[in-house]
């Protein structure tokens, strides 16, 4: 009886360990939390740097909810949101005149690449990276300009 009990206990421990490892492999989104723009470390083209910007990522059943609030360079309020999935499928994005959907794919545990789309057409790309220590989030964005060129912005956020 003791051998059977030990065998069942060992089996339960191994099963729980495998489940924990499988969960960790999918991994929680390292962006979960609140992030504030560090203007000193960021670079924006054409004097478009916002006066302030806060990004909040929250785990929800359908993915990761992202809310962006702040004040634009011209003093208008910024209010954007999306529920992010990392399956490469388009998700709605509200609050931007430049794009209305985005699709995201995980590159690895700390990096995500996205395509930004307006009316189904790709208008830009963003790479989101969370530092190894989980304290810095960097968004590197390339957008098509109305003149046919490309603008590049790097937004650096500190975890709160």
Decide: residue 148, CB within 10 A, 0-12 exposed, 13-18 middle, 19+ buried: exposed
Report helix, strand or coil for 62. Answer: coil
pLDDT in tens, 68-78: 999 999 999 99
Could you tell me the two tokens for 132?
A: 């190894």
Q: Are 96 and 70 in contact (CB under 8 A)?
A: no
pLDDT tops 50 at residue 4: no
Residues 6+ apart with CB under 8 A from 83: 60, 62, 63, 64, 65, 66, 91
pLDDT tops 90 at residue 89: yes
pLDDT in tens, 144-154: 988 889 999 99
Map out the domains of the chain as residue ranges: 1-28, 31-159
Higher pLDDT, 93 or 5: 93
Compute φ and ψ for 97, nearest 5 degrees. Answer: -85, -15
pLDDT tops 50 at residue 14: no
* Residues linked to residue 143 through DSSP beta bridges, in sequence order: 124, 151
The pTM of the full predicted model, rounded to 2 decimals, is 0.81
Report helix, strand or coil for 10. Answer: helix
pLDDT tops 60 at residue 50: yes
CATH topology (fold) of 31-159: Lipocalin (2.40.128)
């Amino acid at each position: 009886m003791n051998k059977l009990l030990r065998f069942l206990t060992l089996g339960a421990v191994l099963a729980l360990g495998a489940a924990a490892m499988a969960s960790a492999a999918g991994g929680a989104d390292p962006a979960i939390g609140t992030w504030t723009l560090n203007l000193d470390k960021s670079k924006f083209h054409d004097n478009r740097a916002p006066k302030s910007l806060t990004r909040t990522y929250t785990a929800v059943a359908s993915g990761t909810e992202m809310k962006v609030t702040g004040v634009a360079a011209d003093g208008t309020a910024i209010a954007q949101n999306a529920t992010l999935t990392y399956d490469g499928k388009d998700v709605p994005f509200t609050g931007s005149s430049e794009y209305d959907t985005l699709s995201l794919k995980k590159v690895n545990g700390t990096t995500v690449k996205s395509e930004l789309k307006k009316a189904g057409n790709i208008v830009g790309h963003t790479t989101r990276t969370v530092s190894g220590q989980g304290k810095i989030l960097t968004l590197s964005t390339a957008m098509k300009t109305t003149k046919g060129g490309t603008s590049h912005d790097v937004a650096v956020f500190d975890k709160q």
